[in-house]
Structure 1
Amino acid sequence: MTRKTTREARTQLAGMLAIAAAGTAAYWVGEGAAGGLQAGAILFAFALLIFLGRRWSPTIETMSGVGDERTRALTQRAAAFSGYAMACVLAAWGLISAAAGSFNATVGAMSVVFAVTWIGACAWDSRGG
């Protein structure tokens, strides 16, 4: 790893640990100590898996997004695929629930967020963003 990559990996670890701490606190408040500790264990373990596992697994390296241009491109492609898959799931879920007579407002809101961010990203990127 280069100095820049090492710095990026450490910065990413700090961010993941901060998110794990926030998730632990949120579950602790909402679910109690047992729920908080369980969520915290999962979140902290995942952060360490990403941080330590990138050296031994190309899949985890791609999941981390930290590395050379190839790794960053693979991460970007994987994220785009996941985003489109979620968009299809949300669209199907919204249509099926509406047809069943019980439209889910949360799914509708998530669909709108995806559509707005996708259109915004297309506009930004098409202008050389």
Structure 2
Amino acid sequence: MKERVRFAVVSGPEYDERMVRMDYNTAKTEGNVRYGRYFIFYEGVYQWLYVYYKDIVWAYHRLEDAGGRLSRELAGNGTHSMMLVTKERKRIGIPVGSDEDAVKGLNIIQRHNRFVDIGFTREKEGKYL
């Protein structure tokens, strides 16, 4: 028996579940993220989390170095994330598969929301957070 996918909004108002489900079903996958017509979907614990494109004001790529005991063996490897900041000044980190997935994701976001500010600078951090 197939279980229905559950959804939860990360920031902003809750949207009609039928609309969210339809957008999820038609979304394209890039790395670990699904990009719909209205929402970005990424996997959480027991549910898919989503963000409305129009709620995003700032987005950038972040690479975190792999640390710990294995850092010598993993030199050059890290975790690629897309960082999103919403109108409510909430910062959301979405892990993506690779550098290319992050670039594709940022381009998709910019295509769906032409007012989003792309790229990291200290000035933007002060402005949006």
Greater helix content: 1
TM-score, scaled to structure 2: 0.23
Greater strand content: 2
Structure with the greater alpha carbon radius of gyration: 1
The structure whose RCO (Cα within 8 Å, separation 6+) is larger is 2
TM-score, scaled to structure 1: 0.23
